[in-house]
Structure 1
């Protein structure tokens, strides 16, 4: 991995030439493909001509071609073999299938080797143990659509590096083949509990990491039996492809644990854990702090901006530079809509990335807003500000950034915000916003809910369009529902909407269509609405 780190560092003063070369490679492959020819892509286009000829796109622009590509088992979007399809889902969107071509995997390999090389350089102790790289399992109901594909982070590496990585993996990739998502999670907990040599843990969402540790507590008795015997017991019929670990030492620790997640227990379980990696920006920040609190003996590293469709930034030398050796990047100014090349960015700008990748996507618009920071050489660095997905129930135009600012300004007194939920039918069939909060089980709920609803309503009314909608009676006043296990309720609702296990993020703003979920309806009926 060290050569990848050196290669990234060596070319940081050649941003424009590297990016133009990446575009030339992409144009050559796209121009040879059926879809590229249909769109009129030419291999001899300059950067400027490409920007003039090709429109900004979203997934919807590729949905028909991707459906045909999957059915025909041909590479229609770009001249590069499709190795597999990676399922993903957004905050409100249905499952999307992203083609991982050989060219796209090579682009990801560039950034992963640079990141891991820098990781070893910063935290050499983690190199002595095993690694856990999270698997993002698809929902149980969709497993038949994957043709046996495993949604494995290690598949983003080249074959040789993947083989080396698998030799140090704490959990085998076969756990994704368990019959249900719950069984996959149980197998993950068993393999991790069995591994005293765990040195590095990488999860995308901190809530996934927290949930995994909490489930270990809930399953401690069953895990102890499984690890003592070395077989899956009653789960065995659903684990036919999954090997079972045996670890009497871990069984003894689990059997003596009261099930309450705490740093002392996890340090005894994983004494060699050196590094923990997870999202820690925007809405994920308070949950990342909670996860760190459960594993305080490990150093922490945040993630960059990764999506199934591509990577924008990654942690490198304590900063988050553009992964300029990977895809072709452009940036839309979040305020005036101008599209700029990466070498045209200026510190302080707020921008939205456009990616042109080896999957065949051209000028693919992401839903994330970044602030440009001081460059590394010529390569811009960024701070993630939040998603650009907005909600417009009745014309109020609430943005994710607004929702994040509302939550950042709340006096929470120990409670943790989960999301600001925009509901088509919040109460009595009328739309409105509901803050979901996780609180301590001993805390009086009504007073907390009333106070937070008041704060949210006051903050939202600073938005002219929201205030007008409230005055016109189009929206119910903001409400708050605070429950001890709100995060688990929220994640379960996301799963029921087909979102991908492990990819589900804590977002500042979510829009759920239709009536309020039944699990929230009773709480909403009994909660106190804010003053109008």
Structure 2
């Protein structure tokens, strides 16, 4: 397609700059800091911490605090709701909603400078995609982002759901010409209607060559919803009319494909690779998270779409980008923000040019949004260097659960679960720390999807592994924690995702995490499942 060639040309200069400056990592980072300080100096938040334009790297890192969202919350809300002065003099395009595993919605100011920083990461990624997967040039693409909850839709701008909004205007127009799904699907009344319309456009497009999403569980959910709505989708594609689905959206447009309609009517709804291969014969690439707890779900998604190659996403957060896939490695997006890395054990902070292979660290971002030394609660390992630029592997969330002093971490759980020989049909979803795991004591519940004849045996093996950690063993010996319990259900992934949504997290933004804390009483569905004794001859049941 001609649009792809124009987009590749437009992003070429950004990729060449990324490629040619890799040996100048320290110089680029110091220049990024100087440019950033010129925008944030003089704002009320900068004055509070004595930040000045022209500060050296050393002065900046020694005088400015490491922060989280709570440090900036009041200032952001004042700007968003009252029009007060913001965190940066760069104009704000919008406030992007995001959420974490333990927090409800946060708002990140997307300024002109910040969007330019994101564009500096997207350009080399896009050029590298076309270089590695030339079949992408021949079909349309689907790029997704976070899906805004129905309750927020009336208050949001129409830009909010579209990955293309992370690009500059010119590149956005070019990329838009290559898309399988028009932007106006984000304007539907509900999330369900947006998703239905997205699936209709995708089903109607046999030229689809790329599907770029974030969470693989979101991709699996899309395929499952296509099966659930197959009759209604067939009606829409046969008639070219939405019915009630896009009511209220101006000029909604509607795809029409008698062939796709017939395929959907003949489909029995089973998630079968043969059906999706026939529906999307040109699909060349699926891009989604595939590291840490997302790995098993990425594997399932790829198995359903075997005609496509699979590329794991880099580490992106709503607050900024850390790595991009580049030349087959997750390379620090060093042209974008100002980066530092903190050792979670001793708090020491390193500049990116000070990192060494094997270190496990958490990224600190200072970005054009005005967030400075902002700690992402993600753990990455330094696995090498791409001509001087760190190559980082995402290991999972860096948080620790500490119900009674047991100090349990996600890597400890990952190691324990990896030591098991789980049945092929069983996949770990998450381990949740709960205030009452039985007998009025706190404890941990390992949630598994599938069918297992002996969940109690699985739980005992994980418990044995966890008791090798001093603080966990001590808490168990003192009777402070219930033993870990294993809860198995065929629909556990969807139940977990629904619980995340109910806690304020945003669809498509939900990572599968190895370890979470769910405060308060258990959800009713989980309480019902845990009433079944975790013994070898019993299965959880609804």
- Contact kept? 2:189, 2:246, Cα under 8 Å: no
Shift, 1:34, TM fit: 3.4
Aligned pair 1:436/2:442, yes or no? no
Residue 103 (structure 2) aligns with: 93
Residue 458 (structure 1) aligns with: 464
SS in 2 for 1:468: helix
Instruction: Give the Cα separation in 1 of the matches to 2:350 and 2:490.
Output: 46
2:207 to 188, 197, 221: 197
2:354 to 344, 347, 363: 344
User: Once the two structures are superposed, what CA deviation does each residue of 1:274-328 show, in whole Å capped at 9, x if it has no partner?
Assistant: 1110111011111111100000010111111110000111100011111000000
Instruction: Give the Cα separation in 2 of the matches to 1:426 and 1:99.
Output: 40
1:179-328 aligned within 5 A: 179-237=189-247, 242-328=252-338
Distance 1:241 1:511, change over 3 A: farther
Residue 19 (structure 1) aligns with: 29
Residue 139 (structure 1) aligns with: 149
SS in 1 for 2:209: strand
Shift, 1:2, TM fit: 2.3
- Contact kept? 1:82, 1:102, Cα under 8 Å: yes
SS in 2 for 1:94: strand
Provide TM-score, normalisation by structure 2: 0.94
- Contact kept? 1:177, 1:242, Cα under 8 Å: no
Instruction: Give the Cα separation in 2 of the matches to 1:239 and 1:432.
Output: 48
Instruction: Give the Cα separation in 2 of the matches to 1:149 and 1:203.
Output: 17
Aligned pair 1:519/2:525, yes or no? yes
Residue 335 (structure 1) aligns with: 345
Instruction: Give the Cα separation in 2 of the matches to 1:529 and 1:51.
Output: 53
Aligned pair 1:485/2:526, yes or no? no
Count of matched residue pairs: 525
Shift, 1:237, TM fit: 3.5
Instruction: Give the Cα separation in 2 of the matches to 1:75 and 1:273.
Output: 47
Distance 1:53 1:149, change over 3 A: same
Instruction: Give the Cα separation in 2 of the matches to 1:112 and 1:236.
Output: 31
SS in 2 for 1:459: helix
User: Once the two structures are superposed, what CA deviation does each residue of 1:64-104 show, in whole Å capped at 9, x if it has no partner?
Assistant: 00010102335510110010011111111111101100000
Distance 1:145 1:425, change over 3 A: farther
Instruction: Give the Cα separation in 1 of the matches to 2:121 and 2:279.
Output: 32
Residue 468 (structure 1) aligns with: 474
Instruction: Give the Cα separation in 2 of the matches to 1:303 and 1:236.
Output: 31
Instruction: Give the Cα separation in 2 of the matches to 1:321 and 1:236.
Output: 41
2:384 to 370, 374, 379: 374
Instruction: Give the Cα separation in 2 of the matches to 1:520 and 1:504.
Output: 19
SS in 2 for 1:116: helix
Instruction: Give the Cα separation in 2 of the matches to 1:236 and 1:41.
Output: 49
- Contact kept? 1:86, 1:98, Cα under 8 Å: yes
Instruction: Give the Cα separation in 1 of the matches to 2:183 and 2:97.
Output: 17
Instruction: Give the Cα separation in 2 of the matches to 1:528 and 1:35.
Output: 52
1:154 to 161, 164, 180: 164
Residue 422 (structure 1) aligns with: 433
Distance 1:330 1:135, change over 3 A: closer
Instruction: Give the Cα separation in 1 of the matches to 2:190 and 2:413.
Output: 34
- Contact kept? 2:385, 2:391, Cα under 8 Å: yes
User: Once the two structures are superposed, what CA deviation does each residue of 1:132-178 show, in whole Å capped at 9, x if it has no partner?
Assistant: 11131122223344355523211110000001111111112222222
**Structure 2 segments unaligned to the other structure (5+ residues):** 1-10, 537-542
Shift, 1:36, TM fit: 2.2
Instruction: Give the Cα separation in 1 of the matches to 2:400 and 2:242.
Output: 45
- Contact kept? 2:188, 2:246, Cα under 8 Å: no
- Contact kept? 1:314, 1:322, Cα under 8 Å: yes
Instruction: Give the Cα separation in 2 of the matches to 1:3 and 1:271.
Output: 32
Shift, 1:378, TM fit: 1.4
- Contact kept? 2:98, 2:506, Cα under 8 Å: yes
SS in 2 for 1:29: helix
Shift, 1:234, TM fit: 4.0
Instruction: Give the Cα separation in 2 of the matches to 1:149 and 1:74.
Output: 23
Residue 38 (structure 2) aligns with: 28
Shift, 1:244, TM fit: 2.5
Residue 508 (structure 2) aligns with: 502
Instruction: Give the Cα separation in 2 of the matches to 1:523 and 1:231.
Output: 43
Instruction: Give the Cα separation in 2 of the matches to 1:207 and 1:87.
Output: 20
Residue 133 (structure 2) aligns with: 123
Distance 1:43 1:397, change over 3 A: same
Bigger shift: residues 399-408 or 230-239 = 230-239
- Contact kept? 1:335, 1:350, Cα under 8 Å: no
- Contact kept? 1:87, 1:98, Cα under 8 Å: yes
Instruction: Give the Cα separation in 1 of the matches to 2:157 and 2:167.
Output: 20
SS in 2 for 1:26: helix
Residue 399 (structure 1) aligns with: 409
SS in 1 for 2:100: coil
- Contact kept? 2:454, 2:535, Cα under 8 Å: no
Shift, 1:477, TM fit: 1.2
SS in 2 for 1:14: helix
- Contact kept? 1:178, 1:242, Cα under 8 Å: no
Instruction: Give the Cα separation in 1 of the matches to 2:253 and 2:402.
Output: 48
- Contact kept? 1:171, 1:192, Cα under 8 Å: yes
SS in 1 for 2:26: helix
Instruction: Give the Cα separation in 2 of the matches to 1:121 and 1:184.
Output: 32
